[in-house]
Amino acid sequence: MAAGPPPPLDPDSLPTFTDEGFAEKFLRKTRENPLVPLGCLCTVGVLAYGVICFKKGYTRRSQLMMRARVLAQGITIVSLVGGMVATTIKSR
């Protein structure tokens, strides 16, 4: 039994997507999971302070800041994964 061509698509039944710029998408994602940008800012701040301490010769403080950077990165990753899990659970 040979099948004929598929029926034509009805444009009204297709999903529509809005064009979303970078700023709109960034704001939407920030509202969905606000801890990730906060963690990123914290990581960058600790890293910058650690580099400043390193350049000034405060080796003990710069090592402490590098360890704090790793901790901030870890918290950022945990919040990212937590946000993904929460979004998955919410969509079900």
pLDDT, tens digit, 9 for 90 and up, residues 27-52: 988 888 888 899 999 999 999 999 99
Q: Averaged over 74-79, what is the pLDDT?
A: 93
Which residues are CB-neighbours of 43 under 8 A, at least 6 positions away?
Answer: 69, 72, 73, 76
Q: Which residues of 15-31 are buried (b: 16+ CB within 10 A; e: fewer)?
A: eeeeeeeeeeeeeeeee
Q: What does pTM read for this prediction? A: 0.68
pLDDT at 56: 96
Quick one: pLDDT at residue 3?
A: 74
